A and B are shown apart, each in its own frame.
Chain A
Amino acid sequence: MIEFRDVAFWIEDHHILKGVSFTVPKGKTQVILGPSGSGKSTILRLLIGLWKPTSGSIRVDGEDITEISSERLREIRKRMGLVFQQGALFDSMTVGENIGYTMLEDKTDEDEIERKVRISLEQVGLDPDLIDRMPDELSGGMQRRVAIARALASRDPDILLYDEPTTGLDPQSAERITDLVMNLRDRTGKTSVMVTHDIADAFKVGDRITVLDQGIVVFEGTPVELAAAQSPFINEFLAPFRKAVARASRGIVGGSLSAGGSA
């Protein structure tokens, strides 16, 4: 279980997060949703310990990671797999070395690493023969999938963190990534936190959704509760999504009428 309790975070004069609190139950997928600059990615960086909150606490399975030694934090990080916004693949390493990075660090047998890397590539829908390619030889979508494979292969983590996994991808690739995240959610049952500004993805993937606006939590609940929420910010934020859903629904109904079917 992950708990953020009254977390505040400043960078110089900028108040990025203002008293953020939410809980991610074990085995559930929490989506952090909000417009650009609302502090979403900051939450993931605080969770993995890249940054330390100015105040408040962050607990992972009851342990406050803001109060522990760097060695203990390193041990907790090993239980997390993070997919960075642009993938953050190590560009001097092959795809295989990227995915097998933590296994190489742990001095795992090379044949075993290759076996697990090939399985990881298949799990994310990529050809295992990509193992010797360099990251810059792959498309953006493929790089993102390699990043997911790397996070998964990383010491079989209990917690998966996704930082805007579909940002910057074409719609087809983005959909493949979203489907992959949903597939992993259903298949592995791991605790996951996904940061996104894509409302459709949030509704598809999330068991619970936290909406941020300028560093403040303005909503926390299920997708159904979010769809029914009626605050000014939520209405404005969801307006394009609600319009698109309404248009899609009218399109389906109108299409069946114009094709000669009876209403």
Chain B
Amino acid sequence: MAVEALAAVGDRLRRLLETVQDVTLFCVQVVRSAFLPPYYKHEIVEQIHFALVGSLFIVMFSSLVAGQALAIQLARELARTGAKSELGHFMVISVVRALGPVLVGIVVASRMSAGVTAELGAMRSSDQIDALVAFGTDPMKRLVAPRMISLWIALPVLTVIGDALGVIGGGFIGVGYHVTLQSYYNGVAKYLTPSNLLVGMIKPVFFAVLITTVATWKGLTSAGGAKGVGVATTESVVISSVGILVTDFICTKMIFRILNW
């Protein structure tokens, strides 16, 4: 019985390693597909619209609200230590370097993962993917590459917008804690440096790869009809969201090491 249990564990481990290998190779194909022709311009434009315009309102709203919530926490503590004039400084560090990219990444990941996985899963279960292959189309080029390219464009743009609204929202909260707009602005301007911006803007590049890989992998490999597509969609959202947090941690560690901070 112990041998059987051990064999079962070994089998699960083997399957897990095989999946990790397959997903890693798929990730390489995803990135590669975005750089090689042919380019389906109509699909790319459509996906940019879906990712950027479709996510804009929810990113703006979430970033504004999250920035304000963060500002409440920071303003209170800074006021107690007599350093409330530093609110702008800490909002830039917190939002631009960390909260902004992650929040935008998770919001976009939730939306895109669900949509992409469901769409590709439905295509898989109705043989549309096989039909594309049968008619000589590479599904990586037609279905995956446009989504990769669109996220590489949309995520950094949305991150900038999200960061701006988060910081602006913090300013309004600061006024309620008697932080002058001038001191807030001075703090923001002083610490909105190229290196802080770089830290914040590198992450969306990796988030885009993560979201595209997970969402398209889950959709293209889904099985089991409507239920299978539903399960794949849920897993896609969860894996993407958690993956954003893990990727953020890894990126932060790497960037800090490279910048010698």
Chain A residues engaging chain B, CB cutoff 8 angstroms:
45, 48, 50, 74, 77-78, 80, 82, 84-86, 88-91, 101-102, 105, 154
Contact = CB atoms under 8 A, between A and B. Distances in A.
Contacts of B128: 88-91
Contacts of B132: 90
Contacts of B137: 105
A49 B190 CA distance: 61
B126 A88 contact: yes
B126 A91 contact: yes
28 contacts: A45-B130, A48-B134, A50-B130, A50-B133, A50-B134, A74-B136, A77-B133, A77-B136, A80-B134, A82-B134, A84-B127, A84-B130, A84-B134, A85-B127, A86-B127, A88-B126, A88-B127, A88-B128, A88-B130, A90-B131, A90-B132, A91-B126, A91-B128, A101-B135, A102-B136, A105-B135, A105-B136, A154-B135
Interface residues of B, number: 12
Contacts of B133: 50, 77
A3 B66 CA distance: 65
Given A74-B136, A77-B135, 4 more contacts: A77-B134, A85-B127, A90-B131, A105-B135
Interface of B: prevailing SS: helix
A232 B12 CA distance: 44
Contacts of A50: 130, 133-134
Interface string B119-130: 000100011101
B23 to A, nearest CB: 19
A160 B5 CA distance: 50
A50 B127 CA distance: 11
A82 B137 CA distance: 14
B136 A88 contact: no
B134 A86 contact: no
A243 B134 CA distance: 39
B3 to A, nearest CB: 21
B222 to A, nearest CB: 16
The 4 closest A-B pairs by CB, nearest first: A88-B127, A88-B131, A82-B134, A84-B127
A105 B122 CA distance: 22
B136 A78 contact: yes
Nearest to B129: A88
A45 B128 CA distance: 14
Contacts of A84: 127, 130-131, 134
Interface string B215-243: 00000000000000000000000000000
Contacts of A91: 122, 126, 128
Contacts of A89: 128, 131
A84 B126 CA distance: 9
B25 to A, nearest CB: 15
A39 B75 CA distance: 69
A100 B135 CA distance: 11
Q: Find the residue from B122, B128, B131 having the highest chain A CB count within 10 A.
A: B131
A50 B122 CA distance: 18
Contacts of A85: 127
Nearest to A163: B127
B126 A86 contact: yes
